[in-house]
Amino acid sequence: MQKCELIEKCPFFNDLMERMPATANMMKKRYCLNDNLQCARYTVFKALGREKVPKDLFPNQIEKAQEIIEREKV
């Protein structure tokens, strides 16, 4: 998989995780540089658009992402 198209402007990593660089780097490696299809933030972005991605949604919260998508599509 290629690098995520959103990595440069992802508010999660560029704003929320700035004080936790080790954790941020681990998550970036897993979700942004490896398999963005498993990223909860990317999943919501692709389904609903950037404005529907909650600022506090962590990349590993894929179940929460699916709930957000289902709720919006009703």
In a domain, 1, yes or no: no
What's the CA gap between 36 and 48, in Å, rounded? 16
Q: Is the pLDDT reported for residue 70 higher than 80? A: yes
Q: What percent of the chain has pLDDT over 70?
A: 92
Distance from C-alpha of 19 to C-alpha of 34, rounded to nearest angstrom: 23
Determine contact, residues 16/55, Cβ cutoff 8 Å. Answer: yes
Which tokens belong to 4? 């995520």
Confidence check: pLDDT of 41 > 80: yes
Q: Give the pLDDT of residue 34.
A: 87
> Range of 22's domain?
7-73
Number of domains comprising the chain: 1
Interacting residues of 5 by C-beta distance below 8 A, sequence separation 6+? none
CB-based contact 48:68 (threshold 8 Å): yes
Q: 45-60: per-residue pLDDT in tens?
A: 999 999 999 988 999 9
Residue 29 in any domain: the answer is: yes
> What is the enclosing helix (H) or strand (E) of 46?
helix 40-48
